Amino acid sequence: MNLFEYTNSNKRYYTLDYFYKQKFKCKVFKVSLNAGFSCPNIDGTVGKGGCIYCSKLGSGDFAGSEQDDLIKQFYKIKNKLHQKWKTAKYIGYFQAHTNTYADVSVLKEKYESILKIKNVVGLSIATRPDSINEECLSYLEELNTRTFLTVELGLQTIHEKTSKFINRCHTLECFEECVKKLRSKNIHVVVHIINGLPYETKDMMLDTIHYLNHLDIQGIKIHMLHILKNTKLGIIYRENPFPILSKEEYVQIVCDQLEILKKNIIIHRITGDPNAEDLIEPKWLTKKFGVMNEIDKELASRNTFQGFQQSILNKVRQIIISNVKDKDLVIDATIGNGKDTLFLGKIVSIGKIFGFDIQSQAIRNTEQLLLSHNIHNYTLFQTGHENMKQILKHYINKISLVVFNLGFLPKGDKTITTNYKTSISAIKDAISLLNEKGIVLITVYPGHPEGKKESIEIKKFLKNEGINFKEFHNNNQGISPYLIEIKKMSK
């Protein structure tokens, strides 16, 4: 069973290819262009010399040649890609340098020339957050009504010390304000970040993802730092080498970032592909598809996916998928609205589910949900879970899994909650019902008064009884739901 919803392949993250196929119902590829723009960080407007890692082509090393006009560039690249994808449509990608750094009249001339080409379904414009003035923003807003428009903003890092070192010459506040302005016009925003920047730690790279999760962005490009010849960074590295991420470190960090990143943010890029002739380090970057394959393998070995850390429910379901078989007998001790019960029903297709809840509304909601999915191998009991052992006395040592989701009924009466006394009684009985490989999973929600008390008392009970258990937390917030796992064989 695939727990990640935005995929039509083996990928465990939201690929750009998947997004385009869902939106345009066909293959779409980008045609990278060099429109001859400069950059305010090169010409002295905000800084000189540009970002220290940037190539002379302004990160447009695989764009068309500036010697050719835009139309000629477009057809050269499009025709080459068409050899692989015969019936595709196109996004004109203004890639090199800062592609809003000109008068609007110039922007219109360049953008509109590409939009006139048959089967161009959109534009993607790479720029800086300090290079979109109000006149430009108004034009982008109008353009967005006529085509699918994406604006790509370079951020690279949220850390001011690093940003100054790499000579970004804009503030984090400037970046955030630009995102807000673009989103107020309903324009898709893609953010570029770089892993492995000099002296940044893994935690600093993860902090950048945590920050982006709080912004309204639609996509992200994740790069590994390229140290290129004929760049200031290349000179710095030659004179005073700094630590560089190994391929294995990069793969681990990207997978950690994906697990944190919200699942609906599109991954436009997950590694870089520098020109091998210009590359100083890291040499492993020249094997782009090898890096991508290693990321796929690592996520598969973890059995995780993009957004995994966003909900403790993902950990619950990961454990269930890894341990429960189709013939097993399982218990949903707090059925609520039936979502967990339904998930169990899809797994124990020839086994059976027993469900408990004290509220008639929960019983009705769950039964309707199960029947709507053609699941019939269940029995629901409108009673407290502390009565499960008495009701299921003939199933002692036969149950493979008992799931608790403590708290109150979502969208129901929040004054009706589980409480620690009946929960502890039910947990004790649940353990006695387990077979030798059985598991009890308890999702605890300490974000309300009774839930906080439950959290304290349940762990006190388990420790006093000498019952081994594991805790899983998605973050360090004391009020966030977390998971307790108890295995019968580890008692």
Q: How far apart are CA 92 and CA 74, in angstroms?
A: 8
Q: How far apart are CA 428 and CA 408, in angstroms?
A: 21
- Is the fold of 16-308 the same as that of 312-490? no
Q: Is the peptide bond before 282 cis (omega within 30 degrees of 0)?
A: yes
Sheet holding 120-127, edge to edge: 28-33, 89-94, 120-127, 148-156, 188-195, 219-224, 266-269
Query: Which residues neighbour 235 within 8 Å (Cβ) at sequence distance 6 or greater?
Result: none
Burial class (CB in 10 A: 0-12, 13-18, 19+), 407: buried
Q: Divide the 491 residues of the chain into consecutive groups of 10 and give the mean pLDDT of each group.
A: 74 95 94 92 88 74 75 91 87 94 97 96 97 97 98 97 95 98 98 96 97 98 94 94 96 98 97 88 93 96 94 94 96 94 95 95 94 96 96 97 86 72 96 96 90 92 94 80 86 47
Domain limits of the chain? Answer: 16-308, 312-490
CATH superfamily for domain 16-308 = Aldolase class I (3.20.20.70)
pTM of the model: 0.91
Q: Which amino acid, 256? A: D
Residues facing residue 404 across a β-bridge: 442
pLDDT score at 291:
96
Q: Provide the residue count of the chain.
A: 491
pLDDT score at 31:
94
Whether residue 429 contacts residue 386, with contact meaning beta carbons closer than 8 Å, is answered with yes
CATH topology for 312-490?
Rossmann fold (3.40.50)
Pseudo-torsion of CA 9, 15, 18, 24, nearest 10°?
-160
Among the listed residues 182, 165, 270, 256, the one whose alpha carbon sits nearest the alpha carbon of residue 218: 182
